[in-house]
Structure 1
Amino acid sequence: MYQRILVAIDGSETSGHAFESALQLARDNGAQLQPLYVIDNPVMAYDASGYDPTVLRNACMQEGQQVLADALARMEHENVAGVPRIVDVEPIGEDIAERIRISANEFNADLLVLGTHGRRGFKRLFLGSVAERVVRSAHLPVLLVPSRQAHATVAQAAKPGHADIAAAMYELPR
């Protein structure tokens, strides 16, 4: 069973679904849960004349603190142990996907839960996705939760004995 679950959240609806799935898994398994909020620091922003990067970082920090406070309240309500964490992407040589993987290693996670925005076709090819980059380089099971999903389906896909990378790509009927 999973004992240490890391879930990346960013305040979006999709990451909310991922958090709810991770919360349910943590509660059902008696696992420790670490919600993770990653602050990206694009290098390009530092080159702009007259731009103060601390303004953007402070805004991201405030948002992250609010998102994590909400997550912690839900964890306390469900009696799930864990400590939320905010981390910064290193300015040179690191992206959000790498920071998530590093954080999962630091937490010694045995499951990583991520939301996916479900881009398809050219957008997916051109933009890629954080979730896809994490999955390609992860050394632990990864549960991908799509933007529209059934919680029971996701929880079922994450049970031990399934593939190391459980990608629950279930779409609700319209």
Structure 2
Amino acid sequence: MSYQHILLAVDDSPISYAAVEHAEKLALALNSKITVMSVIAVDPFKGVDFYKVAPAVTQYLFEAEKNALGRLKDIQETLIHHGVSTVETKVIRELPPATGILEAADELGADIIIMGSHGRTGFKKFFLGSVAQEVLAISPLPVLIIKSAQHTDS
């Protein structure tokens, strides 16, 4: 099977940069297009009066989007500099991360999703969930999960 359009889902973690390296190698080998994307989601504030925290949430979203756009631009420039012919970026707002990734893959007509996994295990995985695991379980597309080499969770 040929992967002509790679959806590369990144966040601000070091494992995302390992996923970038894998996506780059695959894109160069197959002459694929890459769309690099991030999801900016708001976590619900349970038991907090929204009107008191609204300015903080607005500022958080502004900063999160600014940081995501900068990170995506840096990754895009690096991939182009390394020879990937077509690299686009996309930011998804206000959706749970797995939902945003899957909707972007469908909207863009991606052939494969590449993303990192933080490698959480045990209780932390249960409590925090795993975006990579959710995408892998639901996606109709192939998903390449790049796992962290080190497991610092105990």
Deviations 1:29-66 (A, max 9, x none): 10000010111122428825153122111100111111
Unaligned runs of 5+ in 2: none
Question: Is 2:6 aligned against 1:2?
Answer: no
Match of 1:83 among 82, 85, 88: 88
Residue 148 to residue 46, structure 1, CA distance change in 2 (3 Å): farther
Deviations 1:52-101 (A, max 9, x none): 122111100111111111111112112211211111024xxxx1111110
Normalization by structure 1: what TM-score? Answer: 0.78
Residues 72, 89 of structure 2: 8 Å contact kept: yes
Moved over 3 A (4+): none
- Pairing of 1:1-174 with structure 2 (within 5 A): 1-44=2-45, 47=50, 49-52=52-55, 53-80=57-84, 81-90=86-95, 95-148=96-149
Q: Would you say how many aligned residue pairs link Structure 1 and Structure 2?
A: 146
* Structural RMSD (CA): 1.8
Match of 1:163 in 2: none
Residue 109 to residue 20, structure 1, CA distance change in 2 (3 Å): same
- Determine which structure has greater relative contact order: mean sequence separation of CA pairs < 8 Å that are 6+ residues apart, divided by chain length: 2
Unaligned runs of 5+ in 1: 150-170
SS at match of 1:83: strand
